[in-house]
Structure 1
Amino acid sequence: MSDKTPRLKLAQLVSLQSANPVTWNEALAELDALFDLCLLGQFVNTPPASPTDGDAYLTGGAPSGAWLGYAYKIAYCLDGAWRFFTPFNGLRAFVVPSSAFIVYLNGVWTDWNALISANETSIASAGTCDLEAAGSLFIQITGTSTITSFGSAANKLRFVRFAQGLTLTHNAASLVLLGGTSRVTQAGDVGLYASDASGNWRERAYFRAAANAGDFATKSGAETLFNKTLATPFVSGLLSLAGGQIGFPAAQIASPDANTLDDYEEGIWSPSIISAVPASGASVMVGSGSYIKIGRLVCVRFGIRVGSSGVGGSGAVRIGGLPFVQECTGSYAEAAVLLGSQGGFATPSICGAVGFFVSSNSAYMEGRILNTNGDTALNWSEITPNTFLGRELFYFTPN
């Protein structure tokens, strides 16, 4: 039979032993030292000058004086002398200066308070960013270095906040990220990570800081067409939009693919009426216009009432200020008129025969008088202070 208990190493009485009180008192002293252990210091290397019986310390890695040679032991003062005990798995202690509650396992003291505290510890990003070394449940990772590992600590849980953008590298064995692919973090992103018994880390959740940073792989944020990279093709059959909207960027991103819709826009424009040779004093009393652009197709509406035809003007009548230039290969490209009204010309009979052609690669259209023999220019001499024009027409832009 051993003369010590297996865990606390308390002295045991043996058969026919003399001086039983000595053995019994020794066991009580050891029990008094280790039961509900209260430490006056953690990882201390220098013994106190005037210890009191019952004082206990956890020595550091380089103890001196009366503690020399007893690194990482429990130093306990009894009868003015120091006794030393070796920590064992499951030993718990309260550390007075820091109010920490620590527990010993396999050579490591873990602060339970740190594991349940909301205090956040900062560590710098690196190839191996050891989350266990931070000793805190909540961790902020600073810097922009690429991370390929969170260390090898087993059975740990960590809430990680990224202070800056960096690359977090997916590894199918040791750092498994949601979606099975590496990610680029953004400032304020938060991830939840847990390690298994082998020290392999797995991402349990990931939350983007950006309001519209939804990503199917991360299961967080609001998914929109702006923050998604969609495979082609990504929909077969009917595409149903619960929100009822498709958004396009303010500046068109032109596509070379003839089957790709790359723009939608609505707006207003200011039409003007001019002559090929400008007239002095000509003015528009009322003029307004609106447009819709779908891909390369433009639909424009406008209305003009002439205030004064001025003097000296000649040549073809032109409507300027179109919101987009026309693409065509010839001199003119006819714009299809859906609805139109006009009148007040010097020659009333031409009222029903006036059409407009959009000039090639320019932002104006030119009036023409259509007849059985072709067409002739609508001359400025037909414009009077009573002339009014209203049109809705289509044309194509280069992109």
Structure 2
Amino acid sequence: MMMGDGTMEESARWALPMLFAGQAQKEMQHNEALTLIDALLHGRAESADMTAPPGAPGIGRCWIVAAGATGEWAGQGGAVALWTDGGWRFIAPRAGLRMDVADRDHALFHDGGEWRAVPVRGDGVYIDEKRVVGPRMGTIADPTGGVIIDGEVRSAVSAILVALRGHGLIAR
């Protein structure tokens, strides 16, 4: 938002309040900016699935408001809701914002249009929400023995195992 003299009242990206020479009560603007930065810097949300505010939120805790929100969160779907000693503050997400989400045990990031789950999580790697690499399993032994020895097949299987171990996909 621009002031009459062409200077910005808020930062361009996160709408943090700006300070001006001769401004009264600068500490209020400064504290508001710090409150918003505190919520976003290495952000953590308790949940991204709630449509109503929790009954007893702790100061400094955040939630990503789910679509169809009600009560004090009505109309805030997709926003980051921050509980402060002054009540709820809502932060509109921007492309690149990442929030760890406690009840999902993985992070979400905002792509500029919607929240998306990160592809690399504690239980595997996901593409289009489908797990394509899961937790590492136990060791697979190199091929040995057999009635008929086929050197080419054994060599190919060994090369596959070496590659999988080298990439950390299976145990050594």
TM range (shorter): 0.5 to 0.7
Q: What does 1:312-327 correspond to in 2, within 5 Å?
A: none
TM-score after normalising by structure 2: 0.66
Paired residues in the alignment total: 127
Shift of 1:111: 1.7
1:62 is matched with 68
Q: What does 1:16-165 correspond to in 2, within 5 Å?
A: 16-79=22-85, 81-114=87-120, 117-118=123-124, 132=128, 135-138=129-132
- Sort the Cα spacing of 1:108 and 1:137 in 2 relative to 1 into closer, same or farther, 3 A: farther
**Residue-by-residue CA offset, 1:216-275 (whole Å, 9 max, x unaligned):** xxxxxxxxxxxxxxxxxxxxxxxxxxxxxxxxxxxxxxxxxxxxxxxxxxxxxxxxxxxx
**Residue-by-residue CA offset, 1:175-209 (whole Å, 9 max, x unaligned):** xxxxxxxxxxxxxxxxxxxxxxxxxxxxxxxxxxx
1:281 is matched with none
Distance of 2:30 and 2:112 partners within structure 1: 30
Distance of 1:27 and 1:119 partners within structure 2: 36
TM-score after normalising by structure 1: 0.30
Distance of 2:100 and 2:124 partners within structure 1: 19
Q: Say whether the 8 Å CA contact 2:119–2:125 is kept in structure 1.
A: no
Distance of 2:50 and 2:116 partners within structure 1: 16
Which is helix-richer, 1 or 2?
A: 2
**One-letter code of the match for 2:49?**
F
Q: Say whether the 8 Å CA contact 2:106–2:122 is kept in structure 1.
A: no
1:2 is matched with 8
Distance of 2:25 and 2:106 partners within structure 1: 40
5+ residue gaps, structure 1, are: 121-130, 140-399
Distance of 1:20 and 1:110 partners within structure 2: 37
Shift of 1:116: 8.2
Shift of 1:10: 1.1
Larger radius of gyration: 1
Distance of 2:36 and 2:125 partners within structure 1: 36
Q: What does 1:151-230 correspond to in 2, within 5 Å?
A: none
5+ residue gaps, structure 2, are: 1-6, 134-172
> Which is bigger in relative contact order (C-alpha 8 A, separation at least 6)?
2
Shift of 1:106: 2.3
Identity of aligned residues (%): 24
**One-letter code of the match for 1:136?**
K
Shift of 1:114: 4.8
Shift of 1:108: 2.4
Shift of 1:97: 1.3
- Sort the Cα spacing of 1:49 and 1:16 in 2 relative to 1 into closer, same or farther, 3 A: same
- Aligned CA-pair RMSD: 2.2
